[in-house]
Amino acid sequence: MAEASNAARRIVLTGAAGGIGTMTRPLLAKLYPGLVLSDRVTPPDLQPGETFLAADLTNPDEVAAVLKGADGVIHLGGHSVEGTWDQILQANIVGCYNVFEAAREAGVKRVIFASSNHAIGFYPRKKRIGTNLTVRPDSRYGVSKVFGEALGSLYSDKHGIAVTCLRIGNVGPRPLDVRRLSIWISPRDLVQLFRIGLDHPDLRYEIFYGASDNAAGWWDNSRAEQLGYRPQDKAEDHRAHAEAEQAKIGPDPVGDLFQGGTFCSAEFTNDVKRIVS
């Protein structure tokens, strides 16, 4: 993680105008001076000296142009919530493929893929889980994240790219409700996981959970800890706020049972007794 080598590295951040990109950009810029920002639209707060290259993820030529000469990619871009099948297909599946393929063609050594807790959203909240298990996506969005994890595994095994998949919970200054007390991650803890993906010498293909030091957490993140992850923030410090916000939301008979919350209850037509175990 030497600063001299980082200064010379070209790291591309897709989805730079989005919520997570906006929160992590200032921290990443200090660590990787060669940071290149990319999105379909220019970030409204673009600073002097920041490098921005517009690209639509569904356009392989535009993606290839952005990744030319890159050493690493933090791929946050795409449709960030549930959507129609066509929205998810284009932005999160076609777009994700274009990023990995452009990375391969450009000789990019490392890719960080922003997966999601919604890849495993149908696991019950009472169950603590690791990463070595069957995926249980809770939405079309969740399915796209499972696809990205599988694609990353393929490009790691077949083409030698070091790939890190981060099943991100909820990023922000503090948890928004009680569910997020279990899955919250602060921007600086997320950047710490980015650094492992970009810099750890022994990384080939890994799945980590994007979560801070949460006492109510549902996830075993021991593999990230083995590779040096030491979260600095705790969701419990914000419990009073989360509980106050939860009181405004009210109960969700389906979503409250599962880790994915409302993503599970949306369009739900099953009997919960068939899947809660």
What tens digit of pLDDT does each residue of 148-204 get? 999 999 999 999 999 999 999 999 999 999 999 999 999 999 999 999 999 999 999
- Check residue 215 and give its pLDDT: 97
- Check residue 4 and give its pLDDT: 43
Q: In whole numbers, what is the pLDDT of the chain averaged over residues?
A: 96
Q: For the chain, what is the radius of gyration of the CA atoms?
A: 18
CA distance 140 to 184: 22
Average pLDDT over residues 52-76: 98
pLDDT digits (tens, 9 = 90+) for 206-245: 999 999 999 999 999 999 999 999 999 999 999 999 999 9
CA distance 113 to 4: 25
Residue numbers of the domain that contains 266: 3-274
Amino acid occupying residue 56: D
- Give the 3-state secondary structure of residue 9: coil
- The contacts of residue 183 (CB under 8 Å, 6+ apart) are 117, 169, 170, 211, 214, 217, 218, 219, 259
Amino acid occupying residue 246: Q
Report CA-CA distances (Å) from 100 to 105, 143, 144, 216: 9, 17, 14, 35
Q: What percent of the chain is predicted at pLDDT more than 70?
A: 98
CATH number at residue 188: 3.40.50.720
**pLDDT of residue 58 exceeding 50:** yes
Please state the domain count of the chain: 1
pLDDT digits (tens, 9 = 90+) for 2-36: 444 677 899 999 999 999 999 999 999 999 999 99
Average pLDDT over residues 67-95: 98
CA 272 to chain centre: 28
**For 2, phi and psi rounded to 5 degrees?**
-65, 140
- Check residue 277 and give its pLDDT: 65
**For 187, phi and psi rounded to 5 degrees?**
-55, -40
- The bridge status of strand 170-171 relative to strand 72-75 is unpaired
Active site residues: 141
In 3-state terms, the chain is what percent helix, strand and coil (to 5)? 45, 15, 40
Outline where DSSP puts E strands in 21-75.
36-39, 51-54, 72-75
- The contacts of residue 48 (CB under 8 Å, 6+ apart) are none
CA distance 38 to 77: 9
